[in-house]
Chain A
Amino acid sequence: MNFYQTWLPFFYLYGVGGIAFLLGTFLIYKTGALRVSYEIHKKWIWILFYGYFFYAFIHALFIYLAIGSS
């Protein structure tokens, strides 16, 4: 298996997707839609970043295991 099959899709997904995610987070922060002074919004910031890394972890794990099984 080559790089095009294994890690390139991963980096593209979390790179381009990550830009969309970070821009979105920055925008809602700058416009005041997300306010860190609200306790409930603080929890949401954690959940948002948890979601991003949760999916990145699952995908990375399966790529790693698939490479290991070849």
Chain B
Amino acid sequence: MENILGTNLDRIVILAYFAVVMGFGAYFGKYSKTTSDYFFGGRRFAWWLITISIVATGIGSHSFVKYSTKAYQYGFSSTMTYMNDWFFMPLFLFGWLPIIYYMKLGSIPEYFEKRFSREARYIATFMILMYMIGYIAIQFLTLATALYKIYGIPLMLTVVLIAIATTIYMHFGGQTSVIFTDLIQGFILIFAGLLLFTLGLNFLVENTPYASGLKALWDNLTPAEKLPLANFNSPPDFNFVGIFWQDGIAGSIGFLFLNQGLIMRFMAARSVNEGRKAAAFNVLVILPISAIVVSNAGWIGKAISNSVPGALPIDLAPNDVFVSVANLITSPGVFGFIIAALCAALMSTSDTLVNASSSVIINDIYRPLTKNKSSDEEQLRLARLASVVVKVIAVCLVPFFNSFESIYEAHGWFHSTFTPPLVVGVFLGIFWKRFTSTAVIATFILGAFLMILGQMYPSLISPFSHGIELRPGRGYSYIGALYNLFVCAGVGVIVTFFTKPNADKQLTGLTVFDIHKLKKIFKGSSINEATGKPVVVNFKVKDLGKDMVSFSKDDMKTINANKGDLVYIQDSRWWLGGLKSIHATFADPHDENGVVYMSEVQRDSGMFIDNLPLKAEKEM
């Protein structure tokens, strides 16, 4: 066994952290009463809550290890992948997001059936499930590798223990638990990462002649290590152009358009505009901070190596830099907290993916097979069971991923194998009406075949290589994504021209060309875009029919709403972020100002408390 790191205090801190998160998540289980709550959190949350919970989803436990390694080897260019996601934001915010939200898509594969055919849905389901379950396995492996060095428990047993711990709160809580545990874990992740950075800068001040830690860091990196983008086409294992195509193009589209976990998070937003705010704030503010959070241990490690000889082992393996630097610059207990943050990263990423996987299993396999005849309660029970099954399969896959040379390589294999066909399928589906059902299936099957050929015969990728050196026996790495995208798109385009497209009527609401019709489709009647003001009201229980609520005539005038318009009502305490809220439809008005009539079911669903005011605003 390798040397065990950390102290007993560190181990207690890590265990305490697991216990707190499990309790927190299990508490929010009471907010999941239906499959809609379980998967989408009832479409009710404010943008800021969605944003912070996305942080924890975007930073996996592998992120700390992977980016610290690259930061130690190459400096600031380790941040590249966190800072190249803006290019597809226009299409995401105003193309894809309104489609998935207003068409009430339960999953990405469901889009493939509506847009193309049932066969396309089944293939997409298989690919997405494989992708997500494999991703969960990699998360388990990364954290187990770190905890193994601290607790000395055998690796596979550590994996099983982690799986059980995350199951406890996920199992009962679903999406609401995921969002709230990810909220707290998002803060912890950022805090721990910035704490590590601060402690690292202090270490440099204490051990070098510099008065400023930032100055010490800057001066102890070479000019090349200060560049924010890597060398254009060398070395083969870390170059700009390859990473641009793999991450900036395929990865960004995959993350924004195909990540079922992320999509479900946006579906939990209370409106499309709240989803847009969450996505934009995440990319503009949170991702740059996240880049520092996951990379800084590597930068600090490099500066320490250059300025404090002997502080870190001369033969330090780049993969070990995160744990070694954390151990060096923190005191007992704080080291445990930093590793607990690594746990936070794992738990929050895997819980999102597990919830997303069980959503795909219920929405894309169970419901179509049973023709949606089972009750919601039964589906909810099955969703919970599915989340357990997903974890069992993920645990079984861990030894397979452990056989790769590094976690970085396993992760890269994943992205390059599963993302391009799906990326091309969804992208052409949204933005090209002519794209046919036969073409999307050909993209999946023939595209995958050509991708495998590219892996077997790297000379096929050479025309796309941008001068990147071909490594004997190992082929091209990241730039393979450009070849994969090209062959998949090529197959899709060529087959489309030889096959018959679906009728325009069948595509209604499923392409970017119908965005302006989506609100009407969602509402089921003409929309009211007149601007109004929110009102604060108290509620009284009175049954008015399914989803109906009634306001006074004056309040309706203030809101600028008509009968049949949609309304969003929430507990007036803003910091709840929409946790206690409902969507409803305006019924005929009454004459009692400052009061809304709603049914008992609506009151219970919103968890509204007597005498606490509610805030109501028109949706559309």
Q: Interface readout for A7-51 with B: 1 if CB under 8 Å, 0 if not?
A: 011101100111011001101100111110010100010011011
For the complex, is B276 an interface residue (Cβ under 8 Å from A)?
yes
- Inter-chain CA distance A55–B226, complex, in Å, is 16
A58 touches B241 (CB 8 A): no
B83 touches A55 (CB 8 A): yes
B431 touches A44 (CB 8 A): no
B284 touches A62 (CB 8 A): no
Question: Which residues of A sit under 8 angstroms from B230, Cβ to Cβ?
Answer: 9
Most buried by A among B90, B284, B515: B90
Number of B residues near A (Cβ < 8 Å) is: 42
Q: Which of B83, B98, B226 contacts A33 (CB 8 A)?
A: B98
- Inter-chain CA distance A63–B76, complex, in Å, is 10
A65 touches B226 (CB 8 A): yes
A59 touches B280 (CB 8 A): no
B512 touches A27 (CB 8 A): yes
B280 touches A51 (CB 8 A): yes
A28 touches B248 (CB 8 A): no
B94 touches A33 (CB 8 A): yes
- Inter-chain CA distance A17–B248, complex, in Å, is 8
Question: Which residues of A sit under 8 angstroms from B94, Cβ to Cβ?
Answer: 28, 33-34, 44
Question: Which residues of B sit under 8 angstroms from A54, Cβ to Cβ?
Answer: 284
For the complex, is B224 an interface residue (Cβ under 8 Å from A)?
yes
A51 touches B283 (CB 8 A): yes
Closest residue of chain B to A48, judged by CB?
B90
- Inter-chain CA distance A21–B248, complex, in Å, is 12
- Inter-chain CA distance A21–B94, complex, in Å, is 13
Shortest CB-to-CB span from B485 to chain A, Å, is: 12
- Inter-chain CA distance A32–B76, complex, in Å, is 40
A62-B224 contact, Cβ under 8 Å, with A31-B513, A51-B280, A51-B283: no
Shortest CB-to-CB span from B274 to chain A, Å, is: 12
Q: Interface readout for B224-261 with A: 1 if CB under 8 Å, 0 if not?
A: 10111111111000001100100011000000000000
B228 touches A62 (CB 8 A): yes
Main SS of chain B's interface residues? helix
B95 touches A13 (CB 8 A): no
Question: Which residues of B sit under 8 angstroms from A1, Cβ to Cβ?
Answer: 223-224, 227
Shortest CB-to-CB span from B96 to chain A, Å, is: 10
Question: Which residues of A sit under 8 angstroms from B431, Cβ to Cβ?
Answer: 27
- Inter-chain CA distance A21–B240, complex, in Å, is 19
Interface size class of A (residues with CB under 8 A): 35 or more
A70-B223 contact, Cβ under 8 Å, with A13-B244, A33-B515: yes
A25 touches B241 (CB 8 A): no
A59 touches B83 (CB 8 A): yes
A44-B93 contact, Cβ under 8 Å, with A4-B231, A9-B229, A51-B280: yes
B95 touches A28 (CB 8 A): yes
For the complex, is B371 an interface residue (Cβ under 8 Å from A)?
no
Q: Which of B83, B90, B224, B273 contacts A5 (CB 8 A)?
A: B224
- Inter-chain CA distance A27–B513, complex, in Å, is 9
Closest residue of chain B to A53, judged by CB?
B86
- Inter-chain CA distance A38–B284, complex, in Å, is 23
B512 touches A12 (CB 8 A): no
B90 touches A32 (CB 8 A): no
A67-B232 contact, Cβ under 8 Å, with A24-B91, A27-B431, A62-B76: no
- Inter-chain CA distance A9–B244, complex, in Å, is 9
For the complex, is B218 an interface residue (Cβ under 8 Å from A)?
yes
For the complex, is B404 an interface residue (Cβ under 8 Å from A)?
no
A51-B89 contact, Cβ under 8 Å, with A5-B227, A33-B94: yes
A9 touches B512 (CB 8 A): no
- Inter-chain CA distance A58–B84, complex, in Å, is 12
Q: Which of A8, A17, A47 contacts B84 (CB 8 A)?
A: A17
Shortest CB-to-CB span from A28 to chain B, Å, is: 4
Question: Which residues of B sit under 8 angstroms from A63, Cβ to Cβ?
Answer: 227-229
A-B contact pairs, 16 of them (CB 8 A): A4-B233, A13-B248, A17-B86, A21-B90, A28-B91, A28-B94, A28-B512, A31-B512, A33-B95, A34-B90, A38-B529, A48-B93, A55-B84, A66-B223, A66-B226, A69-B218
Q: Which residues of B are in contact with A by a Cβ distance under 8 Å?
A: 76, 83-84, 86-91, 93-95, 98, 218, 223-224, 226-234, 240-241, 244, 248-249, 273, 276, 280, 283-284, 288, 431, 512-513, 515-516, 529
12 further interface pairs, Cβ-Cβ under 8 Å (given A17-B87, A27-B512, A55-B84): A16-B244, A20-B88, A24-B95, A31-B512, A31-B515, A33-B94, A35-B516, A44-B93, A47-B284, A54-B284, A55-B86, A65-B226
